[in-house]
Amino acid sequence: MIEKMKKVIVVAPLDRKREMLNAIRDFGVVHISETAAPESKYSERLSSLDKMRSVLVEQPKVEQKPVLGKREFDDLHERLCKAVVDSKSIEGELFELSNERSKIEKWGRFNPSDVKELASLGVPLHFYQMGKRELFLIPEDVRYIGLADVDKMKTVAVIGQPLAQDFSATPFELPLRGMDELDAEISRLNLALHESNVLISSSAAFITSYDHFIKKATDDVIYSSVSGAVGEQEGLCCLCGFIPEVDTKGFREIAKENTWAYAFDDPSDDDPVPTKIRYNKVTAMMEPVFTMLGTTPGYKEYDISMWFLLFLSLFFAMIIGDAAYGLVFLGIAIGLNVKTKKLTNMNMLIYVMSIATVIWGALTGTWLGSEKAMEIPFLRMLVIPQIANYPEYFGVDATAAQNTVMKFCFMVGTIQLSLACLMNAVRKWQEKNLALVADFAWLAMINSIYYLILMLVVGANVNVSTVFAIILGGLVLVVLFGSQEPGQSFGAGIKAGLGGAFTTFLNTISAFGNVMSYIRLFAVGMASLAIAQSFNGMASSMLQGWALPAGILILVIGHGLNLVMGMLSVVVHGMRLNLLEFSGQLGMEWAGVPYEPFKKNV
């Protein structure tokens, strides 16, 4: 249920601004409507802590130590920041030194200072690389010393004046440091890098401390944002926000204790009202799913948690489609339950999905995609023949069985979309909105579209003229009543409806596509079965003798891959049917503002 919110305005003396903010934050239920940019010192600290935590997470996992005190933590964080900066700087220097060393190591170990000293004594040396032919072309008046070959090229040290610029030879620039000096510097940097890396890796034991102080830094950022948004004028400060109606009594007591002036009001249509969903024990299973998807309904939209859970469970079961896979998920749920020693919402959701999958798989006779499962009397007894994946065991035609499953898919789609029409009609009845007639028209059209689809897909006998008459009549009613609003004249509503008549026509075509799209439940389920059967066929000839391990490996990899693909299909198709088709018929945009009360994280 989406909780009803009240708009609240609080006024206090300016010199008690901090006292007011602290009290509201301690109360922890007021969602602040507008915030300002936080002070840079708070956002910079939070950014720094986040960066260091991301570095520590990449280190090998170690046992966590108790949370440090603030002084100890700040000292650790300062040393860690320096170590991370130093390590990156050292890695850059080492890269440059390694390149420099690789260029001169083929010339052997020498000390550039010795060459410079000879030059100061009047014996300058110039080094060159050249081919054997060029060596014989050196002028006779040039004195040079032959050196060891470098890269299969002749090398010389010319004494005195350098060779002419047009002479075919590659000069060797004398480096600033020799091999011994470079090796010493590389060793020193490697030691410093090791010390920095040791500090970084050992600090991974303080990720818990970082989590704690990141929460505190987040509190500081939020507090600064709220404080900067407080209006100040003539010695007073004013704060605006939203509060759940059930908490207004407690807020009145807080305001009375602190002698604030305050006022409650109903939010207007233009207010950015946050959405707070109150879950019960059943619908709470959907909370982690909505959190993962990042979806929040608008304040005036619907809480469809219960319907989402019911239909998603069915979609999950039909897409995965295999009872044995359901048992795998059930085992995972039990394992998580034993490990955590508590029944979380996510764990409970896995229980529901896995049980639904086992039931659907048992009803269709699907166990690891194996036909041999139907040779077991007990498993065969659980099957509904009309939807069996192996209908020949029950004397049912294969095409008839597939048509029945497709009919069921379209029926599910029609029921879900019809539910959306009824929910819209109920809300508009409560609002005394004449547009509810349009919702009943949509209800009639969607059910007529169901029969039209049965005729087109499975060849059902349908009175086409009646179906099209209902669709045409519904289209007219939607045009006439779809834009009606409370407090608006009937004629103005008709005028608005006629203006959007073409859009209504397109929506009717879209409704046909929406019902038709539920065929994906059948198609993806059959694809999953076909993949399972393919891997079973590949492994069947190998499940004996020396090839047995390879056959088992093929089964494990094949069915594991099929499970993963099934999970992806649930996200792509199962979620879509709820978030697009169903929510679209409800008129939901999922553009709500999450309820985030001003409170302490620590």
The last residue of one of the domains, among 242, 276, 310, is 276
Look at the chain and count its residues. 602
Which of the four pLDDT bands, split at 50, 70 and 90, describes residue 549? confident
Has residue 602 been placed in a domain?
no
Which of the four pLDDT bands, split at 50, 70 and 90, describes residue 500? confident
Has residue 482 been placed in a domain?
yes
Residue 184: the pLDDT is 86
Strands (E), 528-600: 593-594
Has residue 419 been placed in a domain?
yes
3-class SS of residue 183: helix
Question: Does 146 lie in the same domain as 26?
Answer: no
pLDDT in tens, 449-489: 999 999 999 888 889 999 999 999 999 999 999 888 888 88
Instruction: Give the range among 347-351, 446-450, 539-543 with minimum mean pLDDT.
Output: 539-543
Question: Does 201 lie in the same domain as 71?
Answer: yes
Residue 514: the pLDDT is 92
Strand duo 274-275 + 593-594: pairing:
parallel
pLDDT at 105 over 80: no
Backbone torsions φ then ψ of 43, nearest 5 degrees: -70, -35
Question: Does 386 lie in the same domain as 490?
Answer: yes
Question: Does 187 lie in the same domain as 121?
Answer: no
Backbone torsions φ then ψ of 579, nearest 5 degrees: -85, -25
Residue of 104 and 93 predicted with greater confidence: 93
Question: Does 239 lie in the same domain as 323?
Answer: no
Has residue 503 been placed in a domain?
yes
pLDDT in tens, 175-234: 777 778 888 888 999 999 999 989 999 999 999 999 999 999 999 999 999 999 898 888
The last residue of one of the domains, among 223, 257, 276, is 276
Residue of 42 and 152 predicted with greater confidence: 42
Question: Does 537 lie in the same domain as 466?
Answer: yes
Q: Give Cα separations from 214 to 70, 130, 203, 292 (angstroms).
A: 12, 63, 16, 22
Cα(320)–Cα(318) distance, integer angstroms: 6
Has residue 600 been placed in a domain?
no
What DSSP element (H or E) covers 50? helix 40-57
Has residue 182 been placed in a domain?
yes
Q: Tell me how many domains the chain contains.
A: 3
Question: Does 19 lie in the same domain as 44?
Answer: yes
Residue 503: the pLDDT is 87
Backbone torsions φ then ψ of 8, nearest 5 degrees: -130, 140
Question: Does 387 lie in the same domain as 310?
Answer: yes
Q: Which domain holds residue 158?
A: 110-177
pLDDT in tens, 66-77: 999 999 999 999
Has residue 372 been placed in a domain?
yes
Output the average pLDDT for the chain.
Answer: 90
Has residue 601 been placed in a domain?
no
Contact yes or no for 565/528 (Cβ under 8 A): yes
Question: Does 338 lie in the same domain as 232?
Answer: no
pLDDT in tens, 291-303: 888 889 999 999 9
pLDDT at 161 over 90: no
Strand duo 31-32 + 153-159: pairing:
unpaired
pLDDT in tens, 299-347: 999 999 999 999 999 999 999 999 999 999 999 999 988 888 888 899 9
Cα(60)–Cα(435) distance, integer angstroms: 61
Instruction: Give the range among 106-120, 130-144, 281-295, 375-389 with minimum mean pLDDT.
Output: 106-120
Residue 128: the pLDDT is 87
Question: Does 529 lie in the same domain as 548?
Answer: yes
Answer positive or negative: Cα dihedral of 250, 253, 258, 259.
positive
Cα(373)–Cα(378) distance, integer angstroms: 10
The last residue of one of the domains, among 259, 276, 293, is 276
Question: Does 543 lie in the same domain as 459?
Answer: yes
- Inter-helix orientation angle 501-516/490-499, to 10°: 70
Question: Does 476 lie in the same domain as 361?
Answer: yes
Which of the four pLDDT bands, split at 50, 70 and 90, describes residue 443? very high
Residue 483: the pLDDT is 86
Residue 175: the pLDDT is 78
Greatest alpha-carbon pair distance for the chain in Å reads 113
